[in-house]
Amino acid sequence: MPSVQRVYDELKDEGVVVLAISVDGGGMQTVKSYLAKNSYTLPALVDPVMEVARKFGVRAVPTTYVIDRQGMVVAGGFGPVDFDRPEFREYLQALVGQPPG
């Protein structure tokens, strides 16, 4: 999550939305507590019945999707992602540079 927070901080003013979605059964209070404890400020939603997860075909947690300005899923993967990897940052920067559809 620290690298996810850094991407959020870096790109939020460029119109990029970084959104965490929790499938934890503990609900929003558990998520808020976790975010506060770790000083995370990125937005988070709670999906306790996995409605969003099912729509996106999530099979494992964590899952990451990159959605372009046209609303298309352009990348995704299961398991932890290091958002600090130079290749991932370059990919995101290239998407940010694309004009809206």
Q: Is 4 exposed, middle or buried (0-12, 13-18, 19+ CB in 10 A)?
A: buried
Q: Where are the domains of the chain?
A: 2-97
Q: How many angstroms separate the CA atoms of 45 and 84, rounded? A: 23
Q: How many angstroms separate the CA atoms of 42 and 19, rounded? A: 7
Cα 41 from chain centroid?
12
What CATH class has 2-97? Answer: alpha beta
Sign of CA dihedral 70, 75, 77, 80: negative
- Looking at the predicted structure, is the pLDDT value of residue 76 above 90? no
Quote the pTM value: 0.81
**For 5-29, how does the pLDDT look when each residue is reduced to its tens digit (9 = 90+)?**
999 998 888 888 889 999 988 899 9
Quick check: helix, strand or coil at residue 47? Answer: coil
